[in-house]
A and B are shown apart, each in its own frame.
Chain A
Amino acid sequence: MSGLGWGLKSLRRHRLRAVLSVAGIAISAALLLDMVMLSGGIERSFTELLLSRGYQIRLTPKGTLPFDTEATLTGAGRLVEAIRRVPAVAAAGAVLGTSLHARRGDSLVTLFGYGIQPEAQALYTMLSGSDLAPGDSSGVLLSEPASRLLHAAVGDSVTLIGRLDPQVVTERLGRTLKVSGIVRWVYDYRGQPSVGTVLSVMQSLAGQRRDDRASLLTVRAEDDSLAATVAAGLRREFPQLEVNSVADLVRHFKQRLVYFRQLAYILGSMSLVVTVLLIGTLLTINVNERLGEIATLRALGISRRTVIREIMLEGAVLTTVGSIIGIVLGLGTARYLDSILTSFPGLPAAFSFFVPRRDSLATAGIVLLLTGTLAALYPAWLAATSPVAATLRAEAT
């Protein structure tokens, strides 16, 4: 009989305990997989989000991160022109973010407004209609939630109001624009009503035109491999600005979500400990029950190495079966846990905490298999070193 067959037969002999052990390993495997996905998923998802339009660098007012404060930088046009002249820069654009109002019937609704340069934008993808042309001061782009909120479709007109004056109960800055297209804003949270116009229109609505203000500048290097060099060059050339590459932004973001990564490490380690204890305990008791059989096999000439291999194979079988069930279970629980965490207020809708990827599955699988096999070391050693004659004598009495 092969080692695998011997192991399977031994497990079949005690079905209830084998089923319970496999169930325990499956839950531990599911938890481990979820935690592997969580620990790496935040970084991957955020990187993919930042690079979704191919722009690798962000410039913001000194000491700030994009859209983290209401701080703005002045002379956006001049800065963009200067950056576009930097070698290896393929595109650069300015963005202004501000809150706006729009009329709906006799009431006002609050929107988030993006002022963009359509020729170099890193913020949206078109869903329907047409994009704004550079310098198009009569068009506006709406997100789907904004379109629903304003009951406006492509071709309709909407009136955006930049500032309200509570003292004279009037709209200080307003502008009627034609809806050019419906877009998906990459960084919008679920249901966020956002609108976009060319930068100059949004600056006028926000009262930021005079100083040519922008919230951030986005830069695309000619090649991803050049991004770090370009970022370093921009840091030297514009010391008054905060220059962050995608890697820098991911580092900041990871720092803010450090709790989740640490939780992932702790729970992942705990699931491994549970797996080791389950397999170790089960196999130790199995071995103790079968010491007579093992001693007989040894007396017939079966080597210690074969005994060790077979016990470890038994551990591997348990782990493999438990892991396969655990991976299916883990993918299901990951979706549920992701649906909880992605309901964080203000989190981009495209962001995901649990990203199922082949390497996550492989990592969890390999770690579990190694752990399960190593957990069988002690019972295997116990089986291999039991005294043959004394065990057989004890069995016979």
Chain B
Amino acid sequence: MTPLVRQSGRLLVLVTMTLSTRLPAQLPEIAIERRLASELDLAVGDTIRLGPAADSIRFAGVVAAIYEPRSDPAEIAKGEWHLRMHLPDLTRLLGTPDRVDRLSIGLRGGISADSAAARLNRSAYGYRAHSSRVIASESSQTFRVVSRFHRAIAIITIVASAVFLLCIMLLKVEERRLDAAVMRFVGVRRRTIFGALLLEAVLVAALGSLLGTGLAYLAGAATNAYYRRFFDTLLTFSLITPDIIWFSVMLSLVLGAGAGAVAAWRLVHTKPLVLWGRG
């Protein structure tokens, strides 16, 4: 293990900016994210003044780069703007020389990050070492909560859809009362009528599933288009995977066929005269 082979500090700081027209030589370089550059109408080469507070905007820097930040779901709702500076420039600006929020350590191949973190923590005083896996797990807590919420909503929606499907199928089959009565009068067997009604239910469920899948793709595309524009990000908000389609189609087919079977069974076991409305 090579401790501290890579040392970096990434600080987010609130800065207040004013545009300046003077261009002193050797100004510190600043990289600005695209949205901020667009908002302030900044271009590479412009000079800006920064400060840690509204009454201390004394630090001048030159825009050296405009970058597109990596899409981060944890950041999109905050509406924060970021810029990047060389660490010494930022610590000088903040008046906190040689202070950082965190250090990153790259390990040689074959060394466990968890055991390295544990070893550092045993000898540590004043800091805490975490492996990237632990940090990723901690920082994804929010999304795990959102996923649990989505699952709970999905269950409620599936139950509502299932009841709706059962009801529609029942009504669809019961609509065939007169047809079933006529078929029974002319001697068609119950099994044949049952099979025909079941097949019809399955076909309706299959057609509905197909339309539903198309609708889901359209809704997903609309969701992505809306939220990408709303949050000005490239993140994907709605992802329809083959597993989701498979589950949804199978569920609707099973429910449709089940509901059709129940309704058809009731129908073929009703006296033909009753079906005809004269019983």
Is the CB–CB distance between B149 and A341 below 8 Å? yes
User: Which residues 240-261 of A sit at the B interface, judged by CB distance below 8 A?
Assistant: 240-241, 255-259
A343-B53 in contact given A23-B163, A267-B153, A278-B164 (Cβ < 8 Å): no
A31-B156, A240-B53, A274-B160 known; A164 vs B125 contact (CB < 8 Å):
yes
A164–B126 touching, CB < 8 Å: yes
Give the Cβ gap from B59 to chain A, nearest Cβ, in Å.
16
Query: Which residues of chain A are near B55, meaning CB under 8 Å?
Result: 240
Query: Given A63-B14, A256-B78, are A271 and B160 neighbors across the interface (CB < 8 Å)?
Result: yes
Tell whether A282 pairs with B125 under 8 Å between CB atoms, given A27-B163, A277-B164, A343-B145: no
Q: Which residues of A contact B159 (CB under 8 A)?
A: 27
Interface stretch, picked from B37-45, B108-116, B167-175, is B167-175
Number of A-B contacts (CB under 8 A): 111
> In the assembled complex, how far is the CB of residue B95 from the closest CB belonging to chain A, in whole angstroms?
10
Do B141 and A345 touch across chains, with their CB atoms under 8 A apart?
yes
Q: How far is the CA of A56 from the CA of B5 in the complex (A)?
A: 50
B53 contacts A28, CB within 8 Å?
A: no
Query: Is the Cβ of A61 less than 8 Å from the Cβ of B14?
Result: yes
Give Cα A170–Cα B125 distance, bound, in whole angstroms.
8
Q: B-contacting residues of A (Cβ < 8 Å)?
A: 14, 16-17, 20-21, 23-24, 27-28, 30-31, 34, 61-64, 69, 71, 73-74, 164-166, 169-170, 239-241, 255-259, 263, 267, 270-271, 274, 277-278, 281-282, 285, 288, 333, 336-337, 340-341, 343-345
CB <8 Å contact, B167 and A21:
yes
With a cutoff of 8 Å between Cβ atoms, the chain B residues found around residue A71 in the complex are 13-14, 52-53
Contact check, A24 vs B78: say whether CB atoms are below 8 A apart.
no
Given contacts A63-B16, A285-B171, are A31 and B160 in contact (CB under 8 A)? yes
| Chain A residue at smallest Cβ distance from B153 | A267
From B12, B126, B141, B168, name the one whose CB has the most chain A CB atoms within 10 angstroms.
B126
Which A residues touch B175, using CB under 8 A? 285, 288
- Does B188 interact with chain A (Cβ within 8 Å)? no
Query: Which residue from B145, B164, B171, B230 sits with its C-beta under 8 Å from A274?
Result: B164
User: Are B157 and A31 closer than 8 Å at their CB atoms?
Assistant: yes
One digit per residue, 1 when the CB lies within 8 angstroms of any chain A CB and 0 when it does not, for chain B 28-72 equals: 000000000000000000000000111100000000000000000
**Is B126 a contact partner of A69 (Cβ separation < 8 A)?**
no
Shortest Cβ distance from residue A98 to the other chain B in the assembled complex, whole angstroms: 14
B139 nearest in chain A by CB position: A345
Chain B residues closer than 8 Å to A165, beta-carbon distance: 125-126
Spell out B's residues near A (CB within 8 Å): 12-14, 16, 52-55, 77-79, 124-127, 138, 141-142, 145, 148-149, 152-153, 156-157, 159-161, 163-164, 166-168, 170-171, 174-175, 230, 266
Complex interface: chain A residues within 8 A of B141 (CB): 344-345
Q: Could you write out 9 A-B pairs with CB less than 8 Å apart? A: A16-B266, A31-B156, A62-B14, A62-B53, A63-B16, A166-B125, A255-B77, A278-B167, A288-B175
**Cβ–Cβ < 8 Å partners of B170 in chain A:** 16-17, 20
CB distance from A345 to the nearest CB of B (A): 5
CB pair B77–A257 under 8 Å, yes or no, is yes
Residues of B within 8 A of A343 (CB): 145
Question: Using Cβ atoms and an 8 Å threshold, which residues of chain B touch A30?
Answer: 156
- Contacts A257-B77, A282-B171, A345-B142 given; indicate if A239 touches B54 (C-beta within 8 A): yes
Contacts of A282 in B (CB 8 A): 167, 171
Q: By the criterion CB–CB under 8 Å, are A74 and B156 in contact?
A: no
In the complex, what's the smallest C-beta–C-beta distance from B31 to chain A, in angstroms?
20
Q: Is the CB of B171 within 8 A of A17?
A: yes
Q: Is the pair B152, A337 in contact by a Cβ cutoff of 8 Å?
A: yes
Contacting pair A240 B142 (CB below 8 A): no
A198 to chain B minimum Cβ distance, whole angstroms, is 25
Residues on the B chain within 8 Å of A31, using CB? 156-157, 160
Contacting residues, chain B, for A240 (C-beta < 8 A):
53-55
A30 to chain B, nearest CB (A): 7
Q: Is the CB of B77 within 8 A of A258?
A: yes
User: What CA separation (Å) do A204 and B152 show in the bound complex?
Assistant: 48
A281, B142: Cβ atoms under 8 Å? no
State A30–B157 Cα separation when bound (angstroms): 11
Task: Report Cα–Cα, A277/B167, bound state, in Å.
Answer: 11
Q: A259 with B77: in contact, given A62-B16, A271-B160, A277-B164 (CB under 8 Å)?
A: yes
Q: Report B-chain residues with C-beta under 8 Å of the C-beta of A274.
A: 160-161, 164
- Check B126–A27 contact: CB distance below 8 A: no
A221 to B160, CA, bound (A): 49
Q: Which residues of B contact A337 (CB under 8 A)?
A: 149, 152-153
Closest Cβ–Cβ distance, residue B152 to chain A (whole Å): 6
- Would A344 and B145 count as touching, CB distance under 8 A? yes
Complexed CA–CA distance, A64 and B170 (Å): 58
* Contact call B142/A17, Cβ cutoff below 8 A: no
**Chain A residues within 8 Å of B77, by CB:** 255-259
Check A24 against B164 for contact (C-beta < 8 Å): yes
Bound: A63/B13 CA distance, A:
11
* B230 proximity list for chain A (CB < 8 A): 258
A166 partner residues in chain B, CB cutoff 8 A? 124-127
Which B-chain residue is minimally distant from A30 (CB atoms)?
B156
A contact residues around B167 at 8 Å (CB): 17, 20-21, 24, 278, 281-282
Residue of B nearest to A255 (CB): B79
Bound Cα distance A31, B279 (Å)? 42
